[in-house]
């Protein structure tokens, strides 16, 4: 290790990146894979997708995974998170398993292990099988049961080698984007359904944790949450109250039941007062209470800034979270202009301290952190290597705060960037690039390590910078 390292991390720190099946596998109708909601939505409304690029044209990990895993090794990964596509495993969401999917995921897992990269496997990343969506998706208890069957199959097929499992990635996102704001299918605006979807997602997570622990496979199972800190405009009571309500709806709605086994009383009161409590059975709360996570993945990109309502909501408009707060546009904030997102590095420290103080200092890691930039080929040098110094700075500036939290006793075990390779991003397709490795869509999906990829290798070799 070089003597002048200012930020040194533990020698067993998890360095790597995160991805998802729909965003990088491609080949969405190959080898028996069933349609998921993205395949269906692209077929029916391609205009919603940037430049009309759908989930079939992604980074082609399905055929290029061996090359990609070699590149992970070359960029210093010791761990890699990917998701298993439910509709590739079960084309109809339940019933007969697709043997070709098992062969594929076994091959991926075994190749990772061969290169000494630990597989972190996530079971659900926004990709409801279309057959299950037709049954109501997460609104439906029968879909919760089908998901438990899917997860149980994954544990029995892959659980002898995979020791880090996750039930969901960012389960608040399907709630917000699918049932409130229209960014994901089914693109509804229905608060009652949104609450039910959230409740069933948590119930499904707890049921799967129960199954995993009963199988005594020797690993750990957690959940990955985008814990976006809510900052009030001022310390005036009305602003503070607005921030607390945003935090209850968007963060604690999943964080508390996942880690503590119960929903926050204040959130329950809010929902009860507005007559929006979900339908549930008495046994559900017991299952949630008794099956909490072993560890926690935390995704962080940007903060949420809020203020007290400036004006009354239209009482006849659909009920939305914004009944309780307005967004606050803080003057002078640092922004990623391509994504429109604020860059606030201290946010990651504030999240970690919150976990330390209020959630029993549960073992956790930063499971996503990254910066999307448009038209990165502007930054190619003469060798065709993208000089993404802005991304390196972004990572370093966040790692400094993670390092501080670590030294204050936070039980943070790793740092995964989003993402290893430029990938397809839901409605934005390839508009913003996030990878340590670039993909040339015009030249047979050629992979080229970016400057940040070489930096990442050095970071992980030195366990710091």
CA–CA gap between residue 116 and residue 226 (Å, rounded): 28
Q: What count of other Cβ atoms lies within 10 Å of the Cβ of residue 311? A: 6
Q: Mark residue 20 as left, alpha or beta (left: phi above 0; alpha: psi -120 to 50; beta: remaining).
A: beta
* Cα R_g (the chain), whole angstroms: 21
CA–CA gap between residue 393 and residue 162 (Å, rounded): 33
Closest to 353 (Cα-Cα) out of 316, 282, 414, 402? 402
192 contacts 223 by C-beta, under 8 angstroms:
no
Structure tokens at 80: 């890699």
Check 25, 176, 368, 376 and give the catalytic one: 368
* C-alpha pair distances (Å), 119 with each of 22, 129, 160, 339, 375: 18, 23, 12, 29, 31
Please name the helix (run of DSSP H) or strand (run of DSSP E) that holds residue 437, with its range, or none. Answer: strand 437-440
> Rounded to 5 degrees, what angle do the CA atoms 284, 190, 306 make?
95
Question: Which residues, 6 or more positions from 295, have their beta carbon under 8 angstroms from its beta carbon?
Answer: 220, 222, 362, 363, 364, 365, 413
DSSP sequence for 34-69: PPBHHHHHHHH-GGGSGGG--TTSS--HHHHHHHHH
Structure tokens at 201: 């997602």
Q: Mark residue 57 as left, alpha or beta (left: phi above 0; alpha: psi -120 to 50; beta: remaining).
A: beta
CA atoms within 13 A on the CB side of 306: 25
Kindly compute the dihedral angle of the four CA atoms of residues 427, 433, 437, 438, in this order, to the nearest 10 degrees.
90
CA–CA gap between residue 429 and residue 442 (Å, rounded): 15
368 catalytic per annotation: yes
Catalytic positions, please?
Answer: 368
């Amino acid at each position: 290790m070089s003597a002048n390292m200012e930020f040194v991390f533990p020698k067993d720190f998890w360095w790597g990146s995160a991805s998802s099946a729909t965003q990088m596998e491609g080949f969405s109708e190959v080898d028996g894979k069933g349609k998921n909601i993205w395949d269906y939505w692209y077929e029916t409304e391609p205009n919603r997708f940037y430049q009309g690029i759908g989930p079939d044209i992604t980074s082609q990990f399905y055929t290029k995974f061996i090359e990609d895993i070699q590149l992970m090794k070359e960029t210093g990964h010791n761990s890699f998170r990917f998701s298993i596509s439910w509709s590739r495993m079960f084309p109809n969401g339940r019933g007969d398993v697709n043997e070709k999917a098992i062969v594929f995921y076994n091959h991926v897992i075994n190749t990772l292990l061969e290169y000494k990269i630990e597989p972190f496997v996530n079971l659900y990343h926004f990709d409801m099988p279309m057959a299950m969506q037709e049954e109501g998706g997460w609104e439906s208890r029968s879909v919760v049961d089908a998901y438990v069957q899917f997860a149980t199959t994954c544990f029995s097929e892959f659980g002898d080698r995979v020791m880090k499992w996750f039930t969901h990635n960012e389960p608040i996102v399907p709630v917000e984007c699918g049932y409130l704001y229209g960014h994901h299918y089914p693109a509804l605006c229905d608060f009652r359904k949104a609450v039910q979807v959230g409740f069933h997602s948590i119930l499904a997570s707890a049921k799967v944790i129960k199954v995993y622990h009963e199988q005594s496979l020797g690993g750990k199972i957690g959940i990955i949450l985008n814990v976006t800190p809510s900052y009030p405009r001022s310390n005036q009571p009305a602003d503070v109250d607005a921030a607390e309500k945003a935090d209850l709806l968007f963060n604690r709605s999943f964080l508390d039941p996942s880690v503590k086994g119960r929903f926050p009383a204040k959130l329950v009161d809010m929902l009860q007062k507005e007559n929006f409590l979900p339908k549930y059975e008495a046994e559900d709360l017991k299952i949630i209470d008794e099956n909490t996570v072993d560890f926690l993945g935390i995704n962080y990109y940007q903060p949420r800034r809020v203020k007290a309502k400036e004006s009354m909501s239209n009482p006849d408009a659909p009920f939305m979270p914004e009944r309780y707060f307005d967004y606050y546009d803080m003057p002078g904030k640092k922004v990623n202009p391509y994504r429109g997102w604020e860059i606030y590095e201290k946010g990651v420290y504030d999240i970690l301290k919150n976990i330390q103080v209020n959630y029993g200092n549960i073992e956790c890691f930063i499971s996503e952190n990254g910066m999307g930039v448009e038209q990165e080929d502007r930054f190619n040098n003469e060798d065709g290597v993208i000089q993404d110094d802005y991304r390196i700075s972004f990572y370093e500036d966040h790692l400094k705060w993670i390092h501080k939290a670590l030294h204050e006793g936070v039980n943070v075990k790793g740092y995964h960037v989003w993402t290893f390779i430029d990938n397809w991003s839901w409605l934005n397709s390839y508009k913003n690039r996030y990878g340590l490795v670039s993909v040339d869509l015009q030249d047979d999906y050629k992979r080229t390590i970016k400057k940040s990829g070489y930096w990442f290798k050095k970071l992980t070799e030195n366990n710091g910078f």
